[in-house]
Each structure stands twice: as structure tokens, then as C-alpha cells.
Amino acid sequence: MTGILDAMAPKGSFSRLFRRRRSLLFLTGLIAVAAIACGGSDDSTPAASASTNSPPSGVVSSNASGTGSVSLQEISDNLPFDFEIEVYQREDIVGGHNLMFSEILAQGKPVVLNAWAGLCPPCRAEMPELQAVFEEFQDHMILFGLDLGPFTGLGNREDAISLIEEIGVTYPAGNTTQAQVVPKYKILGMPSTFFIKPNGEILRNWTGAINASKLRELVTELIAAS
């Protein structure tokens, strides 16, 4: 693997550990293909209080945090890692072109963070599923597609934007220059999806492609728990 990961490679006693981590990232595409074949994997345990009842049309869960009810610092502290984002599209939803991920959560809605890449076949297959659920739940949550192509060997910024345009998705998407997001969020397969409460706590994460039915179930659970 070359590029940004090579530039980040540590010296001395940690180099062997880094090479192992880099090898895992190189196998990302293979892991993702296996995941999509078996329907993906749920890598977390839901909170005991989570509900699977759909929210009433046009009404956010009564437990959802309102805008400004949780400080940016608290949100950032709850996240595995807060990172800078360059937004490709739908700045109107996320609130700007360049911002921190915590600022999206600070709007008071739960966030579904989907890690993907422009040259990732399972990511391509998953995008229409994400789009369908986004259209259904966009009043209740924010779906953000985070392009990690440069850090996983699965394409660059241009590849990602080209895929967005080809598929025609309309949910927010962008990238980050901070490679730490990969190890901090323990991303070992592409795509990977994180279901995050407004205060920055991750309720669930899912490795591999996810279909609309399962995504709808987990989004409903996230809204009810927020």
C-alpha cells in the first residue's frame, strides 16, 4: 500500500506492527466481498433500551437531543476520533463545506456514518440501498458517506465523486485528510457503517454491505435510542 499510509509509517520498534496493520487494510476489498456475500456483520451489541418501533411520520423520537443540548466538546470526547471533513455534496444538510464531524452531530440528530470508496464494488452495490433509506428517514437522521479510498487503496477523490454522480445518490458525502480515522474506528472492511447517537456515542457498527431492510431496522433502532 502506498500514498498517505506510507508517509505515516512509524520508525523503530513500531514498524512491524504498522506493516501488519497496512496488510489488513490492503485486504479490505477481500474482506468486503466476503461480507457482502454473507450479508455483512453486526460488530456491536445494541443498548438494552433500544426500540424497533418506527417513528411516527414527521416526528423525531422524543428522546432525541435538540440542537445545542450537547456541547461540541462532549460530542468530540464521546467519539473514537473527531475528524475534519471536506464535503462533496449536500452542504445544506451538514452545515458547511469544511467542518468537523462533531459539528454534524451537534445538529441534534443521530448520524449514520458510512465509510466507502470509489473503487469498492460492494460500496457501489450498497449505495442504492443507502439512498432508499435516506429518502425515507432524512427528517429523522443524517446519513453521511465518508470516502476513505486514499487510505484503503480503493480509489481517490475523483473516483469517489465519479461514483456518486454515476449512481445518482443525493445524501451528504465527503472525505477527510486524516488517516487516523481508519484505525480509530477499527475499520477492517469496506464498506463499514456506524450508527451514532447525537452525543457521539456509537450504538452499533456494521462491516460489509448492508441491504435496505436491515439498514431500515438499525436506523429505526438508532432513532429510538437517541
Each residue's pLDDT tens digit, 79-101: 999 999 999 999 999 999 999 99
- Give the DSSP letter of residue 13: G
pTM: 0.76
**What is the residue-wise DSSP string for 116-168?**
E-TT-HHHHHHHHHHHHHHHHHTTT-EEEEEE-HHHHTS--HHHHHHHHHHHT
Segments forming the whole domain that contains residue 17: 4-225
Which residue, among 195, 188, 200, has the nearest Cα to 217 in the 3D structure? 195
pLDDT at residue 10 greater than cutoff 90 = no
Model pLDDT for residues 181-193, shown as the tens digit of each residue: 999 999 999 999 9
Q: Please tell me the least confidently modeled range out of 13-27, 35-49, 119-133.
A: 13-27
Tens digits of per-residue pLDDT, 200-212? 999 999 999 999 9
pLDDT of 29 > 70? The answer is: no
User: Helix or strand or coil: residue 206?
Assistant: strand
Over the stretch 132-159, which tens digit does the pLDDT of each residue have?
999 999 999 999 999 999 999 999 999 9
Q: Tens of pLDDT along 38-50?
A: 347 787 644 333 3
Given a contact cutoff of 8 angstroms between Cβ atoms, the answer to whether 120 and 31 are in contact is no
User: What pLDDT, on the 0 to 100 scale, is given for residue 40?
Assistant: 72
Q: Is the pLDDT of residue 67 over 60?
A: no
Number of domains in the chain: 1
pLDDT for the residue numbered 44: 61
Q: Is the pLDDT of residue 33 over 70?
A: no
**With bands split at pLDDT 50, 70 and 90, how would you rate the model's confidence at 13?**
very low
Q: Give residues with Cβ within 8 angstroms of 56, minimum separation 6.
A: none
Whether 112 shows a pLDDT value over 50: the answer reads: yes
Q: What is the CATH number of the domain that holds 55?
A: 3.40.30.10
